[in-house]
Amino acid sequence: MTLISPRLLSLGTAVPPHRITQDQVLSILAQAKGHALPARMADILGNTGIDQRHIAMPPEYYFAPRSWAGRAAVYADAAAVLFEAAAAQALDRAAINAADIGQIVFVSTTGTMTPSLPSRMIAKMGFAPDTRCVPLFGYGCAGGVIGLGVAADLFRANPDKPVLLVSLELCSLAYDHARMDKKDMVALALFADGCAAAVVGAGPGPVLSAFASHVWPDTLDMMGWEIGDTGFDLVLARDIPVFVNSHFAPVCDAFLARQGLEKAEMAEPACHPGGGRVVDALADYLGDDLAMTRSVLRAHGNMSSPTVLFVLDALLTAGPITKPTLLTALGPGFVGAMGIITP
């Protein structure tokens, strides 16, 4: 039997309506704290590499008392809007209908629903009743790359119909801002909301060639969240940029070697940016300034899992892929996710 290579037929993106600049964050935080912030907070915001972000709700919402039930209701409403917008754009760009999709992979770690969000969108968007829904939870920032790899694997196994990937995070809704401690202010400085969708199937488009992930032992405290009273409490280590060159670099080198590739012969990578210092570390390792990764970070902030797909969409919009392209992301676990797309 001839195997059909999974190809990336299209991408779609969507962000919520509320735009906030980093300059506005300082005044909003000062108002919430009731006093001016220390100068180091301005430095933290200035060093993120972010100019603006989009969030699901107006700023005042985040500092009012919230319950888990209320938070879940807002997630459900906002997520459905973004899911439909990004998925519809990806389907339109691929020139296919929702009913043509065989499976939906859904990535999200900042909220959860049962039935899952894609199950709820079946009738609304016109997917076939027998569409298989595959929710992936817990991968955080690594979820976009991992989800694309899962979508490629599912298409290889069932190539009769295309697979739709939707990666959606509402980071602004996830965290509990009641205490306003240092970790919470870092979350407010970095994270944003967004959604990306991808259609994987047979047809014109770059080949999703290879994907891999690597989990390092004794690194559970580097990234993730813990359950708080009304939201998630951020777990985020300060040494992730150092980790890029000390631990991620040799793993990624080995992945590239298995594909017979060298960094110098590849196109500009699509990386999950994390933050300004993480991008600098990745640029140092990859030998590329990562201009498109930095551009997406400036305009959208860290949206967690969909961010790398925003970068890939920007790269593809600039022109077709003519060389192998590396995708990277780091997430809770602590996990490194890698992918290769070829012309």
SS3 letters across 253-279: HHHHHHCCCCHHHCCCCEECCCCHHHH
Q: Are residues 34 and 165 in the same domain?
A: yes
Below-70 pLDDT ranges, the chain = 1-2, 32-41, 176-182, 238
Assign residue 236 the CATH number of its domain: 3.40.47.10
**For residues 164 and 132, what is the distance between their CA atoms, to the nearest angstrom?**
10
DSSP assignment letter at 61:
G
What pLDDT sits at residue 206? 97
Count of structural domains within the chain: 2
Using one digit for the tens of pLDDT, what is the confidence trace for 35-66? 666 666 677 777 788 999 999 999 888 878 88
Q: Are residues 29 and 169 in the same domain?
A: yes
- Any domain includes 1: no
- Any domain includes 231: yes
Q: Are residues 144 and 225 in the same domain?
A: no
What pLDDT sits at residue 92? 98
- Any domain includes 266: yes
Catalytic residue among 133, 141, 171, 252: 141
- Last-in-domain residue among 201, 222, 251: 201
**For residues 289 and 306, what is the distance between their CA atoms, to the nearest angstrom?**
21
Residue 141 is a catalytic residue:
yes
What pLDDT sits at residue 180? 64
**For residues 219 and 334, what is the distance between their CA atoms, to the nearest angstrom?**
5
